[in-house]
Structure 1
Amino acid sequence: MTTPSAAFGFSGEAVRTAHEIERDWAGTGLRGSLYALNIDTGEDLGFDAHVPYVLASVSKVPLALVVLDLAARGRLDLAEQLELRPETRTPGPTGVSVFRHPTRVALEDLLYLTLAVSDNAAADALFELVPPEEVTRTLQAWGCEGIVVRHPMRRLYDAVAAVAPDDPVLALELAVRATTEGGGHVLPTLDVAAATSGTAAGMVGLLARVWTDAVSVPAATGRLRELMGHQVNRQRMVSELASDAVTVRSKTGTFLNLRLEAGVVETSTKDRIAVAAFTASTVPARSQPEADRAIGRAARAAVDVLRL
């Protein structure tokens, strides 16, 4: 039995909003954590913001930042081209992951593919240059807590293939049913102690520092903000926030029953609100559009309360 979370907020309205989001998620078959922060005022709201979740493709944000930081310091050349071959590519539904022929791609274009279409093969080509351990060490050196990058994207798929080869239904059943109260799991890449994981508070903290150039160097943080604005997947946070007066720069993560998104919402009135919504579905189904919409509703509700 799951114990109730401690919803919090800077005001009574914020606390009520956090509770309403949590109830909405539960009614949609989701458990999760939420943190939203007005970067300029410090006002916030959320629940279970310090509970770690497996980050899936949200981990591509800190990877990209460290790559851009190394490039800004002259240790990597973004124009350098890497050869990616189909027989060694990391699986995935987009980008180079589905290419049938060898291709050469520049580092900066790999960054674009990694963030815009969540290309796993592109991300793992970057992980070849900047290993997960280096990403984590760099985050720690910057004082960015709550995020631990432990493996490339390929590890996610290898773990599933080992226990449920060619059986996506079984993999989903395992994802939903085999989670312990402490975040452990029969699948190592869904175990927060063994997988790349992070908290909603940790991810929002990193984004807030990126948006204020308080981490790395401005050349790197500015380019990351730009790249995050190219994300093609828009059915979560953007679904409820899309308008000419709002810009959302974010990154989704999806793996088995996990649906996550973290990003910054900017409004025409100069609000900058960082939001991280990390969820795990209790329903063993691959297609759950209502879960995506629930994340969008959460982002919209949080922004409505936190904007000036």
Structure 2
Amino acid sequence: MPLTTHQDGGDDVRTTLRSTFAQAGADGFVHVRDIDSGAEFGHGADSRVVLASVFKIPIALEYARQAAAGQLDPARRHTVTAAYRAGGSGTDGCLHDVAMSARDLAFMMMTISDNAATDLLLDVVGLDRVRETLDSLGFEEFGVASCAALDDDVRRELSLAADRSIDDQLAGVPPQALLALGANDPERSPSSTPREVTALLAAIWRDEAGPARACAEVRDIMRQQVWQHRLVSGFPDGARIAGKTGTDVAVRNEAGVVEYPDGKRYAVGVFLRTHTPATRQPLADRAIGRAARAAVDQLRSRQ
């Protein structure tokens, strides 16, 4: 049941959130869940949002489940070839083939959001298996896809050349055409709701999304994410944070878990649809940390 203003007493926090998102030039959607008590706070928590690279969380989970079940050798090496590379972080921007273990593909996918590593790992574990796991856990509406498929959609929509970098070609596209892309639309791109995303994270942190060994591996990898400009920016050094960012043309997200020294654990999802397709949007990045902190503080004030 979605929380109402009267149930959670969060009028002031929602006013703060609306102001934060407005200053960042974005529409924002938030959900925070106390992993152990189940208490929650939301702002647009049941709105469908574009996941962008947040959809890599269930891919990591499926890898870890198969490894824990002995169906996949995490040490077996796989090669990221030119067929997977489109330019970007990690192996996605390498000039030559790179071989690494399945575990390290998952590590690159989650810590720096390496798209080439993502698509190779997805081929290893099987998109159908990821879908089956999500469905079995009750997340039938949680979207997932390969990064290449999403790139192909952009190429088709804008009639871009297949043999040239998408980023190079987007530089000459008018802003309104970029904002109209399906990549920004939850009806045409992998999507979910903030509430569903935090439910998946809570299941991983409570060892309910698979064998305890698999859930622990996902948690460990997510705690090593390198990006400090979104979720992490809102919390003090004493809090331990695991997260996964998501970025596309007009999408800025992060979902993760904040663990406080007092033992309290909070699954957090903040999803922004920005009003500009600009590549650099520091106000939107910082708004994610500020919104997450405001929502977590609201929950902590009630406990």
TM-score, structure 2 normalization: 0.90
Instruction: Name segments (4+ residues, structure 1) moved above 6 Å.
Output: none
* Counterpart position of 1:234: 228
* Counterpart position of 1:208: 202
Identity %: 34
* Counterpart position of 2:253: 260
C-alpha contact 1:38 1:274 (8 A) present in aligned 2 = yes
Query: Is 1:168 aligned to 2:171, yes or no?
Result: yes
Residue 89 of structure 1 deviates from its aligned partner by 2.0
Residue 190 of structure 1 deviates from its aligned partner by 3.7
Residue 37 of structure 1 deviates from its aligned partner by 1.0
Residues in 1 aligned to 2:270 and 2:299: alpha-carbon distance in whole angstroms: 15
Q: What code does the residue aligned with 1:57 have? A: S
C-alpha contact 1:273 1:306 (8 A) present in aligned 2 = no
Q: Flag structure 2 segments of 5+ consecutive residues without an equivalent.
A: 161-168
Residues in 2 aligned to 1:82 and 1:140: alpha-carbon distance in whole angstroms: 28
Query: Is 1:84 aligned to 2:72, yes or no?
Result: no
C-alpha contact 2:68 2:211 (8 A) present in aligned 1 = yes
Aligned pairs for 1:95-106 within 5 A: 95-106=90-101
Query: Is 1:64 aligned to 2:60, yes or no?
Result: yes
Residues in 2 aligned to 1:26 and 1:289: alpha-carbon distance in whole angstroms: 14
- 1:9–1:155 CA distance, 2 compared to 1 (3 A): farther
RMSD between aligned residues: 2.0
Aligned pairs for 1:6-45 within 5 A: 8=5, 10-12=7-9, 14-45=10-41
* Counterpart position of 2:127: 132
Residue 93 of structure 1 deviates from its aligned partner by 2.0
Q: What code does the residue aligned with 1:48 have? A: G
- 1:21–1:219 CA distance, 2 compared to 1 (3 A): same
Residue 168 of structure 1 deviates from its aligned partner by 3.1
Residue 48 of structure 1 deviates from its aligned partner by 1.6
Q: What code does the residue aligned with 1:74 have? A: G
Q: Flag structure 1 segments of 5+ consecutive residues without an equivalent.
A: 179-186
Q: What code does the residue aligned with 2:225 have? A: Q
Q: What code does the residue aligned with 1:101 have? A: H
C-alpha contact 1:57 1:118 (8 A) present in aligned 2 = yes
- 1:268–1:257 CA distance, 2 compared to 1 (3 A): same
Residue 29 of structure 1 deviates from its aligned partner by 1.1
Query: Is 1:293 aligned to 2:286, yes or no?
Result: yes
Aligned pairs for 1:266-281 within 5 A: 266-281=259-274
Q: Deviations over 1:215-249 (max 9, x none)?
A: 21101000000000111111001012141x10110
C-alpha contact 2:79 2:100 (8 A) present in aligned 1 = yes
C-alpha contact 1:32 1:277 (8 A) present in aligned 2 = yes
Residues in 2 aligned to 1:9 and 1:22: alpha-carbon distance in whole angstroms: 18
TM-score, structure 1 normalization: 0.88
Q: Deviations over 1:257-293 (max 9, x none)?
A: 1000000000001110111001110123221100111
Q: What code does the residue aligned with 1:292 have? A: D
Q: What code does the residue aligned with 2:19 have? A: R
Residue 77 of structure 1 deviates from its aligned partner by 0.8
Q: What code does the residue aligned with 2:155 have? A: A
Q: Secondary structure at the match of 1:147?
A: coil
Q: Secondary structure at the match of 1:114?
A: helix
Residues in 2 aligned to 1:134 and 1:225: alpha-carbon distance in whole angstroms: 20
Q: Secondary structure at the match of 2:106?
A: helix
Q: Secondary structure at the match of 2:146?
A: coil
Residues in 2 aligned to 1:189 and 1:282: alpha-carbon distance in whole angstroms: 14
- 1:197–1:73 CA distance, 2 compared to 1 (3 A): same
